[in-house]
Amino acid sequence: MAQGSIMLQVSVIQDIAGPVTSIPPVTVMAFHFLSFDKTTVREITAEKTGGILAGGSNMPIGYSGSPFAVLRLFLRGGEEVFFLAPSHVSSPQFEAGFAILEIEELGVTSIGSNEMNLSRLIGGHAYLDEVE
């Protein structure tokens, strides 16, 4: 049975007491079973605040401004389609049985003996509509 509007939202606050010489990456997934009715992805987005501070230079290390986020739908027969963030326009309809929102943010290992501290919040969401 179609489930109507569905929200998938997940965030991670990662704090390291430090100092450390390696910061682990963040990969977090939220998932939801669907009904193989008609699913539209209405919105997908991700954002970040905070970051990594390297002790040697006290310079923040910032690569990408936002985390990488992708929503994957698994269709009848095992086929998969994916949708990249940010998107605020409705997708075509798919007959999907499973949705996974995956958010990724990089990890780093210091060059030389620079020590690092970390405090960051990474999160994202996807809105889906499932209709008969």
Partner 1 sequence: MNITIKGPGEIVVRFIDQNGKALLQETIRVSGSGMVEAKRDINLSLETLSGQVLVSPVLIQQGEKQQVTFDGEHHSSFTRKRCQEIGCTQNITEDAAHGHAQPLQEGAIHLPSAQK
Among residues 32, 38, 42, 72, the one that binds partner 1 under rule CB under 8 A: 32
Kindly report the backbone phi and psi dihedral angles of residue 52, in degrees, each rounded to the nearest multiple of 5, phi listed first: -110, 140
User: Does 97 contact partner 1 by CB under 8 A?
Assistant: no
Among residues 2, 3, 87, 97, the one that binds partner 1 under rule CB under 8 A: 3
Is 59 exposed, middle or buried (CB count within 10 Å of its CB: 0-12, 13-18, 19+)? exposed
Among residues 2, 42, 47, 53, the one that binds partner 1 under rule CB under 8 A: 53
User: Which CB atom, from 14 or from 87, has the smaller least distance to partner 1?
Assistant: 14
Instruction: Please compute Rg for the chain using Cα positions.
Output: 18
User: Does 61 contact partner 1 by CB under 8 A?
Assistant: no
User: Does 12 contact partner 1 by CB under 8 A?
Assistant: yes
Among residues 61, 81, 106, 121, the one that binds partner 1 under rule CB under 8 A: 121
Q: Is residue 46 within 8 Å of residue 68, measured between CB atoms?
A: yes
**Which residues, 6 or more positions from 23, have their beta carbon under 8 angstroms from its beta carbon?**
16, 52, 107, 108, 109, 116, 118
User: Rule CB under 8 A: which residues touch partner 1?
Assistant: 3, 6-22, 24, 26-33, 49-51, 53, 109, 113, 115, 117-121, 123, 125
